Amino acid sequence: MGIDVRLFVEDQLTAAVAEKALLEADRAYSVLQLVFWHKDTIRKKVTDLNHSAKENLLYLVVTDQDTPDNCPAGAVESLGAPLSPNLLYRFAVMEVESWIMADRENFAEFFSVRINEVPQHPDEVSNPKEHLAGLIRKSGSKGIHQAGRGYGLTLGKFVSNCWNVSNAQKHSPSLKRTCQRLQTFRLKRV
């Protein structure tokens, strides 16, 4: 039997990454509702989501950590109540771009960059979005290098067609923790 999901994310790229992780979890997840909220809105509304996550659904919130000060444990503590068993509140350290770069081999091949330029520990990169954009600017592929405003579309295409979640988990502990939770998640009647 499948598990229905309400997915809350900051942007289209995070949605693509989260949906791919759900798909590769091989647990028959089905996204019923996809909600885009600014990160500040997510922080404000996650308490309400925690109270709402009593239905027979998984509430999955995926957001960027952004700074070392934005500690995931602190975010959960700020809920003012125990975390609902049907709410998974997951953080990409520091940004979802670190999860994308974590599939180093496919990233290097798709974007025509040298693999030694792709960070081995992307969760430790302080500004993954900027780092990733810098790598794309160095791309040996003229079409990718000139994407400019099409940056999001190009990354979305990579995630959909080439990004391998299993490979990426080897280089991103935060992605690995998220995937482990998706693999072991069980709906609970609350």
* pLDDT tens by residue, 68-127: 665 666 666 766 778 899 999 999 999 999 999 999 999 999 999 999 999 999 999 999
Angle at 79 between CA 69 and CA 46, to 5 degrees: 90
Stretch 179-189: mean pLDDT, rounded? 94
| 29 within 8 A of 6, measured Cβ to Cβ | no
Q: What percent of the chain has pLDDT over 70?
A: 88
Stretch 22-42: mean pLDDT, rounded? 94
The CA–CA distances, whole Å, from 176 to 54, 81, 107 equal 26, 26, 18
Q: How confident is the model at residue 146 (pLDDT cuts 50, 70, 90)?
A: low
| 14 within 8 A of 62, measured Cβ to Cβ | yes
> What is the rounded average pLDDT for all residues in the chain?
90
